[in-house]
Structure 1
């Protein structure tokens, strides 16, 4: 897998997590813990994208 395709896959995962967070936040009785975990995953992916984009 090339670097650019890896970055694109990470961007897709980041977008998917963003959409999931929005869905959960709109749902009644949503779990703050689940939202926090998803946001942490998003941040890790965002940091990885930034790191790879500077290479």
Structure 2
């Protein structure tokens, strides 16, 4: 196999891997934002319950 083809294949592998990593990071960010919203909601409810007691 010619060295040029090896370089092209390597570049394509790196490109697809980076796209996959970016997608995974976006999913992690979305899940973290959801978890933060849930925790903030629970904290606000707890503060409301504590102030009413």
RMSD: 1.8
Segments of structure 2 that go 5 or more residues without pairing to the other structure are 32-53
Number of equivalent positions:
30
Quote the Cα distance in structure 2 between the aligned partners of 1:24 and 1:3: 32
Quote the Cα distance in structure 2 between the aligned partners of 1:23 and 1:2: 32
Name the residue aligned to 1:10: 10
| TM-score computed with the length of structure 1 as normaliser | 0.49
1:25 aligns with 2:13: no
Quote the Cα distance in structure 2 between the aligned partners of 1:18 and 1:26: 12
